Amino acid sequence: MKSVALLICNSDKKLNPQEWEEFTKQVELAVQHHVKTIHFMGSSTLPDFADRASYVFESDETKELKELIVLIRQKYRQDAVAWLECDVELI
């Protein structure tokens, strides 16, 4: 089982508020559709911060979801998203 943190942001302000909302909703739906265990989904709310959202989840297979996230990223003209994937060891 892999643990994944997916981080998206709109720090370059390419997306207007409506586009940002659509982008985050599509990412959220993709994660919910492909993942069994979601530990966290949330976003920044302070107007002084750049738009940011984070998703933390567990998944056995991440290849298909990762490919879908790339397609969503491209649709919304985002240069990159952060995808951190690892095996977690409880000690």
Domain segments of the chain as ranges: 2-86
State how far the Cα of 83 lies from the Cα of 86, in Å rounded to an integer: 10
Per-residue pLDDT for 39 more than 90?
yes
Per-residue pLDDT for 8 more than 80?
yes
Angle between helix axes 17-34 and 63-75 (nearest 10 degrees) is: 170
Q: What is the pLDDT of residues 41-61, one digit of tens each?
A: 998 776 655 689 999 999 988
Percent of the chain past pLDDT 70, that is, above it, reads: 93
Per-residue pLDDT for 7 more than 90?
yes
CATH number of 2-86: 3.30.70.260
